[in-house]
Amino acid sequence: MAMMPGAVDRRLANQSRQGRMRDYQGVCLHTMVGTLRGTDSMFRSGGTVGTESHFGVGADGTIYQWVDTAYSADANYRGSAYVISIETEDHGPAFGKWNTSGDNVPEWTPAQIRAMARIIAWAHKEHGIPIRQMKSVTERGVGYHAMGVPRNGLPSKYMGTKYQWSKYAGKVCPGRKRIAQIPAVVRLAAGGTAPAETTTEEGILGMTDRIDQTYTKRQGVKGDWSARHLRTEDKTGHYTIADGPCDFGATIKFDVVDLKPGETAYVFLAECMYKKGKPTTVSRELAIVTARENGPYSMTGLWNLYDQYKGQSPRARLVVKTRAKNMGVENVVVSGLKSKGK
């Protein structure tokens, strides 16, 4: 078994049907055209019957491992039994809005660069893959998907061989901007300096204030279908992620625990109306996760909170509803950006 320490174990079912890796020529970098959560859902619905990659990296540096690297994953077509594949998130608050034309894929975040470097360093130690950038699809080291794509990086003489990494001609994955960052990834994997976090005055889509909240303790839920507001900040015990009026984008992660078979819990990001001395009520559901088993969950998106209404101020909070009597939520982590409001 070859599982990377520190990666979230999201192994797909029936991995042995894939066949074992025949060699470890290199690590191939991909882009998802989607989110980590969405790609995870797609892979899990197909299992190893569909297409899958060994690893996935989120905007915040979260690493999922879907396939034990003793076995092949299908992301590199005829080269799948020779290459460790890494999918990378490119949708969500960290990237802003972009159309899905290949060369418009946004740059990797600094957290993604660090995460990919960790995977490459581990693959070098575990499987002997050289930490160097591949100049052609026949070399050993770190490459990218388009290198093995017909009518792009793949020389015609290698069509039909293990160097053909896609059956679709012309793909540019992971995109020009990300390909330009690969030297930084390789340099960091080899022990170099990490790229600095970059900030601009305008932030992302006008959002400049950071949201960084963590609440690690277990939070129990009554199981009476009432709205249980979750704390999101260890230091203050506060419940509020953002207050209106504002635009905000965030990734919210949490673990569902002690849910028994057959039980279901619904975790909402909700707009709640607050007024001192009055009950805080849910006015809008902004996002929802349905949990039917224990484990890590997340939601990512861009949202808007309105201005005060009848003396009540809108606040974004995490809320749970369930009839499960003993389930809980723990390890709540919120990261993102918000505007300064009016």
Predicted pLDDT of residue 200:
44
Taking the C-alpha atoms of residue 118 and residue 27, their distance in angstroms, rounded to an integer, is 12
170 and 219 inside one domain:
no
257 and 286 inside one domain:
yes
ω before 279 within 30° of 0 (cis)?
no
The model's confidence at residue 205, banded by pLDDT at 50, 70 and 90, is: low
* 249 within domain boundaries: yes
User: Where is the domain boundary, 126, 156, 189?
Assistant: 189
Contacts of 195 (CB under 8 A, 6+ apart): 110, 113, 184, 188
Predicted pLDDT of residue 47:
64
Q: What angle do CA 91, 94, 97 make, to 5 degrees?
A: 55
Quote the tokens at residue 160: 């039909």
Taking the C-alpha atoms of residue 128 and residue 330, their distance in angstroms, rounded to an integer, is 38
* 16 within domain boundaries: yes
Q: Which residue in this structure is represented by tokens 């990086």?
A: 153
SS3 call for 127: helix
Domain that holds residue 318: 209-338
Average pLDDT on 137-162 reads 94
Report yes or no: 201 and 294 within 8 Å, Cβ to Cβ: no
Please state the separation of Cα 193 from the chain's center in Å: 23
52 and 180 inside one domain:
yes
Average pLDDT on 143-156 reads 92
Adjacent-strand bridge partners of 214: 333
The model's confidence at residue 201, banded by pLDDT at 50, 70 and 90, is: very low
Question: Could you report the per-residue pLDDT of 217-249, keeping only the tens digit for each?
Answer: 999 998 888 889 999 987 777 899 998 888 888
Predicted pLDDT of residue 306:
80
32 and 176 inside one domain:
yes
138 and 73 inside one domain:
yes
* 313 within domain boundaries: yes
The model's confidence at residue 284, banded by pLDDT at 50, 70 and 90, is: confident
152 and 269 inside one domain:
no
How many structural domains comprise the chain?
2
The model's confidence at residue 308, banded by pLDDT at 50, 70 and 90, is: confident
* 237 within domain boundaries: yes
145 and 15 inside one domain:
yes
59 and 117 inside one domain:
yes
The model's confidence at residue 101, banded by pLDDT at 50, 70 and 90, is: low
Predicted pLDDT of residue 300:
87
SS3 call for 179: helix
Specify the higher pLDDT residue, 240 or 339.
240
Predicted pLDDT of residue 102:
66
Report yes or no: 166 and 97 within 8 Å, Cβ to Cβ: no
Distance of CA 88 to CAs 35, 143, 331, Å? 8, 14, 24
Please state the separation of Cα 292 from the chain's center in Å: 20
Question: Could you report the per-residue pLDDT of 60-70, keeping only the tens digit for each?
Answer: 999 999 999 99
Average pLDDT on 179-191 reads 93
* 201 within domain boundaries: no
Taking the C-alpha atoms of residue 43 and residue 32, their distance in angstroms, rounded to an integer, is 12
31 and 162 inside one domain:
yes
User: Where is the domain boundary, 158, 189, 220?
Assistant: 189
Rg (CA), the chain: 22
Percent of the chain at pLDDT > 90 equals: 65
* 194 within domain boundaries: no
pTM for this one? 0.59
Specify the higher pLDDT residue, 49 or 122.
122
Taking the C-alpha atoms of residue 258 and residue 143, their distance in angstroms, rounded to an integer, is 42
Specify the higher pLDDT residue, 47 or 82.
82
Percent of the chain at pLDDT > 70 equals: 93
76 and 179 inside one domain:
yes
* 200 within domain boundaries: no
Closest CA to 332 of 218, 247, 211: 218
Question: Could you report the per-residue pLDDT of 112-146, keeping only the tens digit for each?
Answer: 999 999 999 999 999 999 999 999 999 999 999 99
122 and 62 inside one domain:
yes
Predicted pLDDT of residue 199:
43
* 49 within domain boundaries: yes
Q: Which residue in this structure is represented by tokens 């690893």?
A: 55
| CATH of residue 144 | 3.40.80.10
Taking the C-alpha atoms of residue 142 and residue 121, their distance in angstroms, rounded to an integer, is 11
| CATH of residue 250 | 2.60.120.40
Taking the C-alpha atoms of residue 37 and residue 41, their distance in angstroms, rounded to an integer, is 6
User: Where is the domain boundary, 189, 220, 255?
Assistant: 189
Average pLDDT on 19-42 reads 95
In this predicted structure, the answer to whether residue 198 has a pLDDT above a threshold of 60 is no
Taking the C-alpha atoms of residue 86 and residue 56, their distance in angstroms, rounded to an integer, is 6
174 and 243 inside one domain:
no
Predicted pLDDT of residue 341:
57
pLDDT, averaged across the chain: 89
Question: Could you report the per-residue pLDDT of 246-261, keeping only the tens digit for each?
Answer: 888 889 999 999 999 9
Q: Which residue in this structure is represented by tokens 């396939």?
A: 67
